[in-house]
Amino acid sequence: MFNNKLLITFLTVFSAIFFSAEVFGFSNTADSGWKASPKLAEALMKQRPETNYSEQRVPKYTLPNPLVLSDGTKVTNAGTWQTKRRPEILELFRKYVYGRAPIDKPKNMTFKVFDLDRNALDGLATRKQVTVNFTGKKDGPKMDILIYLPNAVKKPVPAFVILNFGGNHTIHPDPAIKLSENWMRPGSKGVVKNRANEESRGRGRARFPVEKILKRGYGLATIYYGDIDPDFHDGFKNGVHPVFDKLIDGERKPDAWGSIGAWAWGLSRAMDYFETDDDIDNKRVAVLGHSRLGKTALWAGARDERFAFVISNNSGCGGAALSRRRFGETVERINKSFPHWFCENFKKYNGKEDDLPVDQHMLIALIAPRPVYVTSADGDLWADPRGEFLACKNAAPVYQLLGVDGLGVKQMPGLDKPVQKGTIGYHVRSGGHNLTQYDWQQFMDFADMHFVTMGRN
């Protein structure tokens, strides 16, 4: 009797505290997740009044269900996902978003290791530089892969592959890295008339903690994205497009691949090389990218199942963020600013996101059951952090169907509180649009967990 009374009193007091906490907004349970800074949102809205930075103005939307076939049948087992729904979704992304790249690897492609130093970086690493010639022809398009592998670890080693924005020589001051001779975006140190000079060597090293990566037992491979396709709209006359495009009556089709499609295709060609290199564990290669190259990493990992782990850093619209939220950058904005990134069909969805047969949670679902890690940054509202989180959350049912844990949380985590319990990792970090040491640290922690299990298989 006495115990019951005590229990009732306790419950009453507890629920009163909990209720008032909810009402007055000081509950940790209800409010601990990340929220966009209202001040920042307001400032950004002043800069770009046409852009929505307010959660209240996110329209009501319904996401397409990744676990329902286009004929309405529910997908209830892994077999149906793998043989029917996955190919269906992949095709939708090819047709309406990124465009169609050649499926087979180029017949006459060659790999030439033009630099091999087993005593690089004071003995810490083996450095290789490899030219991938896509057509095998002297004047055909080529890309150079710069590879550092840790010497202290038994080969083959797991590795990260990442496209870079400034040329391979910008990721580290190592004087032996070949200086890129290709077209460069203007406006950065050491770039004159769209060409790099010695001043740009090591310029981007803050984003590439090479020594740290090597000391943790991982290799790092990187490629200048402009080797595959220079990042400006020239009607697809340069890079790999003119060589591999299939024209109909001299015209590109509305589902022909854009630049993101080409960059992702280039990453698959790097994987073709890794498969020939005995020092690299090609079953444990993580593909990683920042921003537009984060969009690219997701698409590369979605279309090529050889990538064991996929990482999208601050990828935003056309990457990890849900398009239907229309928060920050929108489909219309991105297609207008970067008409060469996606396929022509994607432009039909400018301002008509609800008509898209896919949304970006389905891109993440295509990676299942392989580990994927998505990041956002507190100051990067243009990329819609919440939209990036929600895409992960809505991809999780596919992971669960395939027998692995999804995201492990239902609510957006707090700032700098990485979620790494499941097979989908996520964090929103302090700071702005960038790829930081903090991000790398999380990727390596997550890779440690997942690659160890894979290594045992």
Q: Which residues are identified as catalytic?
A: 291, 433
Cross-strand pairs, 92 = none
Smallest distance, ligand GTR to C-beta of residue 8, A = 56
Angle between helices 292-303 and 259-274 (to 10 degrees): 60
Smallest distance, ligand GTR to C-beta of residue 296, A = 9
Smallest distance, ligand GTR to C-beta of residue 321, A = 9
Contact 228, 266 (CB under 8 A): yes
Q: Which two tokens stand for residue 302?
A: 């979605």
Task: Give dist(CA 9, CA 191) in Å, integer.
Answer: 72
Between 144 and 231, name the residue whose CB sits nearer to ligand GTR: 231
Between 382 and 399, name the residue whose CB sits nearer to ligand GTR: 382
Q: Which two tokens stand for residue 202?
A: 């090591």
Task: Give dist(CA 446, CA 339) in Å, integer.
Answer: 35
Smallest distance, ligand GTR to C-beta of residue 259, A = 11
Q: Which residues bind ligand GTR (CB under 6 A)?
A: 291-292, 316-317, 329, 334, 337
Between 316 and 379, name the residue whose CB sits nearer to ligand GTR: 316
Smallest distance, ligand GTR to C-beta of residue 333, A = 7
Q: Which two tokens stand for residue 388?
A: 């990036």
Between 25 and 49, name the residue whose CB sits nearer to ligand GTR: 49
Task: Give dist(CA 217, CA 213) in Å, integer.
Answer: 7
45 Cβ contact list (under 8 Å, min separation 6): 51, 53, 54
Task: Give dist(CA 370, CA 82) in Å, integer.
Answer: 13
Smallest distance, ligand GTR to C-beta of residue 353, A = 15
Cross-strand pairs, 424 = 372
Query: Nearest Cα to 89, choosing from 74, 102, 70?
Result: 70
Residue that the structure tokens 């203007």 belong to = 186
For the chain, what's the residue count? 457
